[in-house]
Structure formats: structure tokens, C-alpha cells
Chain A
């Protein structure tokens, strides 16, 4: 258990009162150190509640969670964590440098390290020029970048980023993506909560989709976006006899450049795929490319949140049959 960055078991939250509201149904979650994990879901799905449970901001109604082996309720667990909350607020009269210094002091970072780290991070999020300006004069994008720097001041082993590119322009967004990739390369575990699916698709190794407080999908991006038993083929022109012979197993999607044809092979397993390819080659068809058919994360997300039954990658039908 202590080897995991996040280990949650049966973790759930129901807000009390006369009409209890289930914000998060009990779920199990394991995130390995160094993993970049994406959390997706429509508004009100329970994403922020899950993050707050993992950071001890909210007390669980059920289950428990640990960060690197320490219960999240213990302040010590947060010593290795950084957090960029959505809609964070810093005292407007502090300068960027003072903000980083004060909040790092709260994280227990020593004075020498604070100064050096603040300089490095201000440079990294392109705020060196505004380091001594009051935060109250910052644009939303600058505030977001400052928040990101603040979350990294204590050199966290795990960082929770809630909508990190919110309000950031496309150039800044790309820079933040590079920064997240840099964290991943440094072995930092990243827990990313974002509405920008393309962003999640680009940086996350594994994602979970929440809907109505319940986890309805989880797996690697590759696993989740692969379409079960279908492969995309790019070949030379397909003779009618070949198409007749393969029947429903092969359908033409359309022409592509260079006189090639795109088609989809829908077969029960890898052996059947190879049999189909043997038939193509026997009929003189040249094969340019074969790859598993995938849907975009956006397609998957829309499909998942619009009423599909619960399906984790572990339980999904395997492409290998």
C-alpha cells in the first residue's frame, strides 16, 4: 500500500442534512508514483470532491485514503503534496515573490530553499518580470501560473492540479502542458482534473471518468480509446472479389492520398485479423498500415457521460479476444 502515491478504498462522501446529497459513491483508486492521472467528468460529477477528499479538505463519509502510505487526514501526508485549486485566491496585496515565500513557509520549506525555489519557479512560469508586483494587479492567466508555481514550491512528490489551464491563453496552455510533462519526467505524480480533454489525452497515462458521483470508466488512454475488435487498414485498391470473400469483416471507409484506400476490419481476434491480411496479400493487395481503431477521448467522454453502462478498461473486451 505504501508504494502507491494514492490508495483509496471505498472512499465516498455524502453531505448530510435533511436531504443527504451523495457527492461521491464509494470508489477504489490506486495511482502509482510517477503516473500522470487524469480525472474527467461533467460538472457535478464529484471530481472536486474526490480531490478534496484526497487532500483532507473534506472528511470522508465512507472508506479511507492514503498518500504515499500516510492517511490523508494527517498533516504530514500533505508535506509531499502540492495543490492548485480551481479558483484559488491569494492576498492581493502580496507580491508574487512574497506569495510564494509565505505559502512555502507554511509547507515547511526552509528560507534558503524558498528563495532559490521561488526564483526558479517564477522563471519557469514566466513571471520573473512581475515578481515584485502585487498579485491584485495580475490577470487571470498570471494568477493561474502563480498558483501553479505555488503548488510546486515544496518540491512535491504528488501534485493535484484542478483546471490548471483555466483562463490561460493558448501559448500559456502549451507551456503548462510542457511543465506537466516535465514533472512527469522528474517522476512527480500528477493528478490532473481538467475539462480540456485534448490536454488530458496529451499528458495523462491513465484517466478515470466520473458521472453522478460514480466512476464509470478507468484505464489508460490507449485502452479506453481503442475500439474493441476493429482495426484501421490503409491498402492499395481492394478487388471486388476480395471484398466479397471477406464480407462483413472488411468495410471501406474511403480513398486516401496516393490511390490508397482506408478500410476497417472488424474481426473477433488477432488470428482472424491475420487471416484477413493473408487473404488481402493473396489477392495482390499491398498493405500500407494496420493499426487498432480508436475513438478520440472526446468521443469516449461524450459516450460515457451520455448514459453508457459502467465499463473499466480492466473489464472491457480485449482486442486480443
Chain B
């Protein structure tokens, strides 16, 4: 298994996209470290500069009520008085905390939606390659069980992806913590969540790759499935379709992975310190991934090459 693990690592290195992902991760945290200049005085944000431009010119209290020119309180649509911190996308207890949460939410969201997609393109063909004639012949005639062959392959992909996610999130967390003095380790919980969802997505790539032997097809099916799950996640969908199809749609929603729910709720809430709510979308997604891997291993073990 070690041989196949190392071979896969070399294959990933040879695919420049994986190296590129590490470069992008580095650019993100270095840019964050260099571009964002915060003046923190006594634990509060006294000023901030992004790429040298002043974004906050003077210290302010985010809870301070906003008033118009005549000194009247500014109300929102619900008639609630607005504060100076109302426009911040992620409201922390302090303005400084809000800045940290915003940066972390941006990074984790990008890693979840764009990073997983790029990682799929970088690693998608590896499983199908394993079944190609001439390559499979050499590897599968070694004294290794089929499970060890597929397992070694997957282990290498997962190790690289876990390293990538940990590197990106860890570096961003460290930069923000050192710059602001706010150490929010909860953000690091997004690492297993993002990695876990990559593993779920990759289970589909693995199953289709083993079944069809086609890298492009395994990617197309996986992306198609991702799109379907996003459509199924629309809350109004069950009420807007024919009653006959309703159980099928609802059933499919519960069985298939919940990329949308995890990406729009769990990941940002972990980044911003909010309430993560129920973990069932993540749990059911992981169960789906586990089932796909079990099927892929069974199929790989029984297939003729």
C-alpha cells in the first residue's frame, strides 16, 4: 500500500493543479498578512488599512446608534434603530471581531465552493487511471489486495487534500489571530467540515471512476449531482412540484449529500462564531459518502481488468 501511496503522491505532484492550489493558498494568507493593516489599541480596532487605503478612519463603537443630520435615530425596515455596526456582514461583539469573522468567512466560503471544485479537477482522473489497461495490469498483478490498491490511492488523495485545507485555514487563522489578538479556534473546526465534504464529493468520483473507467465522466456525474442537490435544497421545491413526485424529491433530498446546507450554514457559522444548528446535513452527507466508498471498493474488488 505504501508503494501506491507514494506513487499517487508523485502523480499529484506531477499534476501542476495541486501544486497550484498550494500556491493559491499561500497567496491568500500572504496577501491577508500584507494587505490588511490593523491598528489595535487596548484590544479595540483603532483603524484599518486595506492595500494601504484607510477603511476605518477613526475608532468607533459598533453599538453606537446611527443618527441623521437632524440627530434623529436611523431606523431599519422593521423600525429597529440602526447602529454603526449594522452594515458589517458578520457582527461580532466588537468591530475588531467583526473584521476577523468577515475575513474567515470569506476564506472558508471560497475554500468550500471554489476550492473543492478545483481540488476535484486536480484529482478527479486519478481513480479512472487506476483502471486503465496497461496501468491496471502492472499494478493489480502486484501482491496487493484490490482494497489495498484503491485504499492506497484514496489515502494519498485525502492526505494531500487534508494538508491543503489545514495549511490554508491554519495560516489564515494564525495571521488573523496574530494581527488582531483575537484567537478564535472554532474557525479551525471548519477544516474537518470542508475536508469531510471533499471526501463526500470524491466518493462519487471514486464510484463512477471505478465503474466507468472514465475520468471525465466521473467529474461530469459528480458536478451534475452537486447541481441536483442544490436544486433539491430549495425550500419551496416540494410545494411547487406535482404531488406524485413529491416523495421522490423529498426522499432524494434526504439521501443525497447536502452541499448547500453545509456550505451556507455550517461553514460560515463556524467561521463567524455563530450557532451552527443541527449537524444532520453533515452527518447524512458523510453517510452517503461512506456508502459510495463501500460500493466502489466492492466493485473494484470484483471487476475484471
Instruction: Give A contacts to B, CB under 8 Å.
Output: 15, 52, 55-59, 75-79, 81, 83, 85, 87-91, 93-94, 98, 102-103, 105-108, 147, 150
Question: In the complex, what's the smallest C-beta–C-beta distance from A79 to chain B, in angstroms?
Answer: 4
Given contact pairs A88-B137, A147-B138, a sample of 18 additional A-B residue pairs in the complex whose CB atoms are under 8 Å apart: A52-B305, A56-B140, A56-B141, A57-B136, A57-B141, A59-B304, A75-B145, A78-B141, A83-B141, A89-B132, A89-B138, A91-B7, A94-B10, A102-B10, A103-B138, A105-B3, A106-B139, A150-B138
A77–B145 CA distance with the chains assembled, in angstroms:
11
Question: In the complex, what's the smallest C-beta–C-beta distance from A91 to chain B, in angstroms?
Answer: 6
Cβ-defined contact, B134 with A87, below 8 A: yes
Cβ-defined contact, A75 with B144, below 8 A: yes
Residue B156 at the chain A interface, CB threshold 8 Å:
no
Residue B14 at the chain A interface, CB threshold 8 Å:
yes
Q: What B residues does A107 contact at CB under 8 A?
A: 142-143
Interface of B is mostly: helix
Q: Which 8 pairs between the two chains have the least Cβ-Cβ distance? A: A85-B137, A106-B3, A105-B3, A89-B134, A79-B143, A106-B142, A93-B14, A58-B304
Q: What A residues does B3 contact at CB under 8 A?
A: 102-103, 105-106
Question: In the complex, what's the smallest C-beta–C-beta distance from A53 to chain B, in angstroms?
Answer: 9
Could you show 21 A-B contacts with beta carbons less than 8 Å apart?
A56-B140, A56-B141, A57-B136, A57-B140, A58-B304, A75-B145, A75-B148, A77-B143, A78-B143, A79-B143, A85-B138, A87-B133, A88-B137, A89-B135, A93-B11, A98-B10, A105-B2, A106-B3, A106-B4, A108-B143, A150-B138
Q: Which of B135, B137, B302 contacts A83 (CB 8 A)?
A: B137
Q: What B residues does A81 contact at CB under 8 A?
A: 141
A90–B10 CA distance with the chains assembled, in angstroms:
12
Interface string of B125-167 (1 = CB under 8 A from A): 0000000111111111111110010000000000000000000
Instruction: Give B contacts to A, CB under 8 Å.
Output: 2-4, 6-7, 10-11, 14, 132-145, 148, 302, 304-305
A55–B305 CA distance with the chains assembled, in angstroms:
11
Q: What B residues does A94 contact at CB under 8 A?
A: 10
Nearest residue (CB) in B for A93 is B14
Nearest residue (CB) in A for B146 is A75
Q: What B residues does A102 contact at CB under 8 A?
A: 3, 6-7, 10
Nearest residue (CB) in B for A55 is B141
Q: What B residues does A75 contact at CB under 8 A?
A: 142-145, 148
Given known contacts A75-B144, A91-B7, A91-B11, A57 and B304 CB-to-CB distance under 8 angstroms: yes
A198–B145 CA distance with the chains assembled, in angstroms:
37
Q: What A residues does B141 contact at CB under 8 A?
A: 55-57, 78, 81, 83, 85
Cβ-defined contact, B133 with A76, below 8 A: no
Q: What B residues does A79 contact at CB under 8 A?
A: 143
Q: What B residues does A147 contact at CB under 8 A?
A: 138
Q: What A residues does B145 contact at CB under 8 A?
A: 75
Nearest residue (CB) in A for B149 is A106
A76–B144 CA distance with the chains assembled, in angstroms:
8
A286–B57 CA distance with the chains assembled, in angstroms:
122
Nearest residue (CB) in B for A107 is B142
Nearest residue (CB) in A for B1 is A106
Cβ-defined contact, B6 with A105, below 8 A: yes
Given known contacts A102-B6, A105-B3, A105-B6, A90 and B138 CB-to-CB distance under 8 angstroms: yes
A108–B142 CA distance with the chains assembled, in angstroms:
9
Q: What A residues does B144 contact at CB under 8 A?
A: 75, 106
A150–B145 CA distance with the chains assembled, in angstroms:
19
Q: What A residues does B135 contact at CB under 8 A?
A: 88-89
Question: In the complex, what's the smallest C-beta–C-beta distance from A185 to chain B, in angstroms?
Answer: 24
Q: What A residues does B136 contact at CB under 8 A?
A: 57
Cβ-defined contact, A83 with B2, below 8 A: no
Q: What A residues does B302 contact at CB under 8 A?
A: 59
Most A CB contacts (10 A, CB to CB) among B132, B138, B305 go to B138
Question: In the complex, what's the smallest C-beta–C-beta distance from B131 to chain A, in angstroms?
Answer: 11
Question: In the complex, what's the smallest C-beta–C-beta distance from B19 to chain A, in angstroms?
Answer: 13
Q: What A residues does B304 contact at CB under 8 A?
A: 15, 52, 57-59
Given known contacts A57-B305, A59-B302, A103-B3, A88 and B142 CB-to-CB distance under 8 angstroms: no
Question: In the complex, what's the smallest C-beta–C-beta distance from B193 to chain A, in angstroms?
Answer: 33
A98–B4 CA distance with the chains assembled, in angstroms:
13
A98–B133 CA distance with the chains assembled, in angstroms:
21
Cβ-defined contact, A83 with B138, below 8 A: yes
Question: In the complex, what's the smallest C-beta–C-beta distance from B160 to chain A, in angstroms?
Answer: 16
Cβ-defined contact, B139 with A91, below 8 A: no
Q: Which of A55, A57, A59, A91 contacts B10 (CB 8 A)?
A: A91
A83–B141 CA distance with the chains assembled, in angstroms:
7
Q: What B residues does A52 contact at CB under 8 A?
A: 137, 304-305
A55–B304 CA distance with the chains assembled, in angstroms:
11
Question: In the complex, what's the smallest C-beta–C-beta distance from B201 to chain A, in angstroms?
Answer: 25
